[in-house]
């Protein structure tokens, strides 16, 4: 169920309108939930995104969603309830804010025009862009590449799916993509990594990086519940700081990460881990800066 805030009794009629729209949209999402191989439906994609955010924050409302997408809540509610479509300007803004891949953006823009998306007509350059986007944003691509360095591994999609906790079809698509991009080869049922390890520039804001880090945080949350304490280390410290020392702290974290990686990579490799470090203010209501 969508949540809407009340802003006094004078807004009660508008609140009731939003609540009714909430119920209609939830019904629409439930009706489409079990449908497979259907054309891209941007309304459904937005509803799923909203529900995902509400699952993480029970106070997150349709108004909050409109604010984050920089679209008026009235326009957003009208679009989601099927009363109208987004303007070109709003569509471009939403696709950027949600960090959609090049292919998903194209599907979005085509659906706004009422056109049926024809995958066969997509240019090779766009497919390459989409491959690169997926590689940079989804955590399991680097996990698969690093499994190539584990002594006892298999290139079997079934083995990889079980190891990573992913659907086998998703693993098969990932293997195809990694091979198309030249990062991986499969020889004698083994993974062979073709490119050296790389590191993204954390000083350069990027939708790729942000989406990847969000996935990493969810993996850490999963590990907290399902990985034995002796096989993980998750800790935190809350303190008052001098913001003038932040850059020195970030530099120290980078040096620590490099040193820890060099220690962990010594000797025979048996498993793949993720090292993630977060340093952020607890004042989450401060003015948002767009990345």
| pTM of the complete model | 0.65
Q: Is the alpha carbon torsion for 134, 81, 31, 4 positive or negative?
A: positive
Residue spans per domain, the chain: 9-121, 124-193
The whole-number pLDDT of residue 13 equals 46
The whole-number pLDDT of residue 105 equals 84
Q: Give the confidence band of 45 by pLDDT, cuts at 50, 70, 90.
A: confident
Average pLDDT over residues 235-261: 95
The whole-number pLDDT of residue 88 equals 85
Tell me the C-alpha distance between 28 and 48, whole Å. 11
pLDDT tens string 107-132: 888 888 776 666 666 777 777 777 78
Contact 101, 133 (CB under 8 A): yes
Phi, psi of 193 (to 5 degrees): -75, 135
The whole-number pLDDT of residue 10 equals 41
pLDDT tens string 86-107: 888 888 888 888 888 888 888 8
pLDDT tens string 46-90: 999 999 889 888 889 999 999 999 999 999 999 898 888 888 888
Average pLDDT over residues 203-229: 82
CATH code for the part of the protein at 124-193: 1.10.10.10
């Amino acid at each position: 169920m969508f949540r809407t805030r009340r802003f006094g009794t004078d807004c009660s009629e508008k609140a009731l309108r939003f609540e009714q729209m909430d119920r209609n949209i939830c019904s629409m999402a439930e009706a489409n939930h079990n449908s497979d191989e259907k054309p891209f439906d941007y309304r459904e994609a937005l509803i799923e995104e909203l529900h995902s955010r509400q699952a993480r924050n029970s106070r997150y409302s349709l108004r909050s969603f409109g604010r984050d997408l920089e679209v008026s809540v009235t326009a957003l509610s009208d679009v989601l309830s099927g009363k109208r479509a987004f303007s070109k300007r709003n569509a471009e803004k939403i696709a950027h804010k949600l960090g959609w891949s090049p292919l998903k953006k194209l599907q979005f823009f085509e659906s706004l025009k009422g056109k049926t998306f024809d995958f066969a007509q997509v240019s090779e350059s766009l497919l390459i862009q989409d491959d690169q986007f997926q590689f940079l944003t989804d955590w399991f691509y680097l996990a698969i590449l690093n499994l190539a360095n584990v002594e006892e591994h298999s290139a079997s999609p079934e083995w990889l799916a079980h190891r990573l906790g992913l659907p086998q079809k998703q693993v098969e698509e990932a293997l195809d993509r990694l091979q198309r991009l030249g990062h991986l080869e499969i020889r004698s049922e083994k993974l062979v990594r073709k490119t050296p390890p790389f590191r993204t520039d954390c000083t350069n804001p990027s939708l790729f990086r942000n989406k990847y880090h969000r996935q990493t945080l969810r993996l850490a949350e999963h590990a907290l519940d399902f990985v034995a304490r002796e096989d993980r280390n998750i800790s935190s410290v809350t303190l008052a700081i001098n913001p003038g020392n932040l850059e020195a702290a970030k530099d120290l974290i980078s040096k620590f990460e490099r040193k820890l990686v060099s220690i962990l990579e010594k000797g025979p490799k048996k498993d793949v881990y993720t090292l993630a470090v977060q340093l952020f203010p607890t004042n989450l209501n401060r003015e948002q800066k767009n990345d």
